[in-house]
């Protein structure tokens, strides 16, 4: 185990893991060939401005179409890819695919969309991440401003000096940086002071049971206040009901992402919907219904 994994990540073999091992091993072997066998699929979920209904950008979310198991969730295979180091290759594939696709959307004149790409810890701590990002931007010709990289709090705080230096290099390239799953890690205000984030994504756990006059409301309100003060975009993740939407609108939250507006969809479906302006129309309907 390398140092970059930090302390406390040693795992002892337990009987429970033992029984899972052959299964995981098979999955891991499959993952090794998933790229060359063309089994990986990148989906995109829109981020919506709930004051206007406009699509602000898309988050790229990976799927694995396993030949026997069907769709495998990233929650299952990303940790496996992390553990085995396959995440480096997969992560670069995600970055390149998302950038290429976004340039394609720009060429079609659909919308000045930006794309967000998730970075796992091991990817973030690879020594040449800024070079890889620079290279992909150059090769795909994507405007760096149209790319946002998402890292979690837990990743950010593993090694603050390293994080600071990598984020500074990424910012120099012109890309945006988002903190994903905000509120589930250490949430120290120090990180907001020290690290150059453009966006905070409020974790879905604060949205899930969102009701008027709840603690969640106060917490979200405080984060929105931080966002206004620090000039950060705040995104509410996992909005899947009209009740949640109503509360968020009353708090003057601007950007949300969630099943209520759209599930993550393959690129060609996003294209169709952007062409038909369907998402925009659907969003406006949802939003207007709230106000009328």
56 binds, among Mg ion, ligand C2E, none (CB under 5 to 8 A by kind): none
Q: Which CB sits closer to ligand C2E, 42 or 232?
A: 42
Is 181 a binding residue for Mg ion by CB under 5 A? The answer is yes
Q: Which CB sits closer to ligand C2E, 228 or 243?
A: 243
CA–CA distances in Å: residue 236 to residues 29, 34, 107, 164, 205:
36, 32, 29, 25, 10
CA atoms of 80 and 87, how far apart (whole Å): 8
Q: Which CB sits closer to ligand C2E, 78 or 113?
A: 78
User: What's the min distance (Å) between Cβ of 122 and ligand C2E?
Assistant: 9
Q: Which CB sits closer to ligand C2E, 116 or 251?
A: 116
Following DSSP, what letter does each residue of 160-209 receive, concatenated? HHHHHHHHHHHHHHT-EEEEEEETSS---HHHHHHS--SEEEE-GGGTTT
Is 233 a binding residue for Mg ion by CB under 5 A? The answer is no
What's the angle, vertex CA 247, arms to CA 244 and CA 249, rounded to 5?
Answer: 105
Which three-class secondary structure state does DSSP give residue 130? Answer: helix
Q: Which CB sits closer to ligand C2E, 19 or 146?
A: 146
189 binds, among Mg ion, ligand C2E, none (CB under 5 to 8 A by kind): none
The site for ligand C2E (CB under 6 A) is made up of 45, 60-62, 73-75, 78, 91, 94, 118-120, 180-181, 204, 237-240, 257-259, 264
Find, among 220, 161, 169, 230, the residue nearest to 199 by Cα.
230
258 binds, among ligand C2E, Mg ion, none (CB under 5 to 8 A by kind): ligand C2E
Q: Which of 118, 163, 199, 257 is in the footprint of Mg ion by CB under 5 A?
A: 118
CA atoms of 130 and 169, how far apart (whole Å): 6
CA atoms of 12 and 8, how far apart (whole Å): 11
Q: Which stretch binds Mg ion (CB under 5 A): 102-110, 125-133, 150-158, 257-265?
A: 150-158
User: What's the min distance (Å) between Cβ of 278 and ligand C2E?
Assistant: 18
Is 180 a binding residue for Mg ion by CB under 5 A? The answer is yes
CA atoms of 148 and 198, how far apart (whole Å): 9
Six-digit token pair at 50? Answer: 């709930």
User: What's the min distance (Å) between Cβ of 200 and Mg ion?
Assistant: 11
User: What's the min distance (Å) between Cβ of 116 and Mg ion?
Assistant: 7
What's the angle, vertex CA 144, arms to CA 149 and CA 125, rounded to 5?
Answer: 35
Q: Which CB sits closer to Mg ion, 30 or 148?
A: 148
List interacting residues with Mg ion (CB under 5 A).
Answer: 118, 150, 180-181, 237
């Amino acid at each position: 185990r390398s140092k970059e994994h930090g302390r406390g990540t040693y795992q002892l073999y337990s009987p429970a893991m033992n029984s899972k091992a052959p299964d995981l091993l098979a999955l891991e072997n499959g993952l090794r060939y998933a790229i060359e066998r063309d089994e990986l699929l990148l989906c995109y979920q829109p981020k919506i401005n709930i004051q206007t209904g406009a699509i602000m950008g898309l988050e790229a979310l990976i799927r694995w179409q396993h030949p026997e198991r069907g769709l495998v969730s990233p929650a299952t295979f990303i940790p496996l890819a992390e553990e085995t180091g396959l995440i480096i290759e997969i992560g670069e594939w995600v970055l390149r695919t998302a950038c290429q696709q976004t340039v394609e959307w720009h060429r079609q004149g659909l919308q000045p969309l930006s794309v967000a790409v998730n970075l796992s810890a091991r990817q973030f701590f690879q020594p040449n991440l800024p070079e890889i990002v620079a290279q992909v931007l150059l090769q795909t010709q994507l405007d760096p401003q149209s790319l946002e990289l998402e890292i979690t709090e837990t990743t950010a705080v593993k090694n603050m000096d390293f994080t600071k230096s990598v984020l500074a290099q990424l910012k120099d390239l012109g890309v945006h940086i988002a903190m994903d799953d905000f509120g589930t890690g250490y949430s120290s205000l120090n990180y907001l002071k020290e690290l150059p984030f453009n966006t905070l994504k409020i974790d879905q756990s604060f949205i899930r049971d969102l009701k008027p006059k709840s603690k969640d409301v106060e917490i979200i309100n405080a984060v929105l206040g931080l966002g206004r003060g620090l000039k950060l975009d705040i995104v509410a993740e996992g909005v899947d009901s009209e009740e949640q939407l109503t509360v968020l609108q009353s708090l003057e939250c601007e950007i949300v992402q969630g099943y209520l507006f759209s599930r993550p969809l393959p690129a060609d479906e996003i294209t169709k919907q952007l062409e038909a302006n369907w998402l925009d129309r659907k969003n406006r309907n949802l939003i207007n219904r709230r106000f009328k």
